[in-house]
Amino acid sequence: MMEWNKGPAWYAAVFTASLLTSWAFFSAQAQTPPTFTNTNDDKEWTMPAKNVASTRYSSLDQINSKNVKDLKVAFTFSTGTEKGAEGAPLVIGDTMYVVTPYPNILFALDLTKNGALKWRYDPKPSPAAQGEACCDVVNRGAVFTDGKIIYNTLDDYTVAVDANTGKEAWRTKMGEINKGETMTMAPLLMKDKVLVGDSGGEMGVRGWGAALDVKTGKIVWRAYNTGPDKDVLIGSDFKPFYDSEKGKDLGVSTWPADSWQHGGGSVWGWASYDPDLNLVYYGVSNPGPWNSSLRPGDNKWTAGLWARNPDTGQARWFYQYSPHDLYDYDGVNEVILLDMDWQGQPRKVLVHPDRNGYVYVMDRTTGEVLSANPFQDITSSTGVDLKTGRLQYVAAKQPKVGETVTDICPAPPGAKDWQPSAFSNKSKLLYIPHNNLCFDTKELDVGYIEGTPYVGTEVHMHAGHGGNRGEYAAWDIANGKKVWAIQENFPVWSGTVVTAGDVAFYGTMDGWFKAIDANSGDLLWQFKTGSGIIGQPVTYLGPDGKQYVAILSGVGGWSGAIVAGQIDRRDGTAALGFVNAMKDLPDVTTTGGTLYVFAIP
């Protein structure tokens, strides 16, 4: 995928490179989150995904499907930024913490005083990072642990800030912006460590995931996603389920010559952790360049999912969702950990709605794919072979050099990009905010130059079949089908949260924050914010004992590049073709980052 900075230098480089180049509830016993999901007080929100199983479910029920219509604004806070606000607020005790897109300011707000500012921390990231970031200068949030707020800065530092005082506890340099590396992901907490990774697949970086000690910031391990086994941390513990993942140094042999050295495979999306199995799961992004003709082979270890020992980084298994990724489908989307009966047998599973258009249910112990069912129209593939694990591409839709291939679905942002889903302990449904986009493409020649765009593809995206560009869907995991769906005009680029009050929340790119009946999909309440919403909603109990819901409004990201980057809508190839699908977005929303907090009076 891409993360899009709207700076003129980036666009000029990209353009130059392109030119060169049945509603069925099953029993509560059949499907439950593991007990380890309750890793924090449900009154608080200490990590973007709510818990290490990434369910984004809250057991709070003061706000419910009967009274949510009475929600009113409790307070607002302007972040002073005009780029995409993809983050999730954190709530610890009587304080809310908000991280902005570049310049990555951390704000601490006093919840006993209607969100009054307690302090701010400015990491002073290098301005040069803006010119290297793809898909906006976003930040997806922070994590709280050991009395610290830990997050990543765009210029490749992981920082820890004392949650009480706002003083910097430690700062660790993780990457090099002159190589095209940036950092936008939210860290994942795994015992006494946090997992972080780099962005920059479109700049030809060599992607990696790494673990840092939460007390000191020391790098404990770093695992690359291309190259020899010793760099990838593949050893005797590596036991992948499928034969295609077995063999020595596949991170080299599945690439032409030395192209693995700038083969992408960054780690900027979501991760989950199972403390019982002591495994961390995280996705890997696209291989570079997009021009697939220049990199024959499976291009290990990109566009897939790692299971690793969080203490050593040693790989347990890997699964490649999209071998030889043809369409920037990546593998970075969330993995939700559940314990459920599968065909009469208890299984520890992970659920992953992938950008290639399939909801995967996998055994998280072994890496076996149990099912893979489409949740959006797909023309690029016909399905997943469960015996081999291989995605079955459609030959007629494979991109070609110098020849335009049309109506490929889904488009590069995928049937679903980074925007995280939520799973309800009550309804047993998965709630998926996603896209409905297709595209036309032509591969172009491109050469690698460090720190510059490395793409080699001309793209025009457009609305998918049906004309709507987005959808919010409820998914029955056991039966592999949609229960209901809400069509939206624009891609649903925000995350979602679901509660024990049978309410799900999400936002739209034209600025509506919505509450939906989690059982029926009926619209129960909506509020028009000042900008398009691409953030992640959270809910918590305030110091007064009342339940609140919070969301960051502020259009941008890859989907909102046309607005946040002030791009000329006449150039349909801009933002790697996303502008072509979003030409009307500037007519309905403007920039501006604002936190909105709601409660029932």
Q: Report which of 218, 90, 84 is spatially closest to residue 143, judged by C-alpha positions.
A: 90
List the structure tokens of 62.
């003061």
Residue 74: other Cβ atoms inside 10 A: 19
Q: How many angstroms separate the CA atoms of 564 and 216, rounded?
A: 36
Q: What are phi and psi of 349, to 5 degrees?
A: -120, 165
Collapsing DSSP to helix, strand or coil, 201 comes out as helix
Q: How many angstroms separate the CA atoms of 150 and 196, rounded?
A: 10
| Catalytic (active site) residue 286 | yes
Contacts for 590 with CB less than 8 Å, ≥ 6 apart: 530, 531, 555, 563
Yes or no: say if 69 and 525 are a contact pair by the CB < 8 Å rule: yes
Q: How many angstroms separate the CA atoms of 468 and 452, rounded?
A: 34
Handedness of CA 509, 511, 513, 517 (dihedral sign): negative
State the catalytic residue, choosing from 286, 299, 436, 468.
Answer: 286
CA 41 distance to own-chain centroid: 24
* 375: DSSP letter: S
Yes or no: say if 190 and 199 are a contact pair by the CB < 8 Å rule: no
* Strand 219-224 relative to strand 271-274, pairing: unpaired
State the catalytic residue, choosing from 202, 245, 339, 368.
Answer: 202
List the structure tokens of 10.
């980036």
Q: How many angstroms separate the CA atoms of 123 and 226, rounded?
A: 31
| Catalytic (active site) residue 202 | yes
Q: How many angstroms separate the CA atoms of 490 and 506, rounded?
A: 13
| Catalytic (active site) residue 176 | no
Beta strands in 174-303 (DSSP E): 188-190, 193-197, 208-213, 219-224, 271-274, 279-283
State the catalytic residue, choosing from 132, 328, 368, 417.
Answer: 328
Q: How many angstroms separate the CA atoms of 150 and 195, rounded?
A: 11
Yes or no: say if 47 and 379 are a contact pair by the CB < 8 Å rule: no
* Strand 90-92 relative to strand 95-99, pairing: antiparallel
List the structure tokens of 317.
């298994």
Beta strands in 238-328 (DSSP E): 271-274, 279-283, 304-308, 315-320
Q: How many angstroms separate the CA atoms of 86 and 556, rounded?
A: 8
List the structure tokens of 232.
């990838």
Active-site residue set? 202, 286, 328
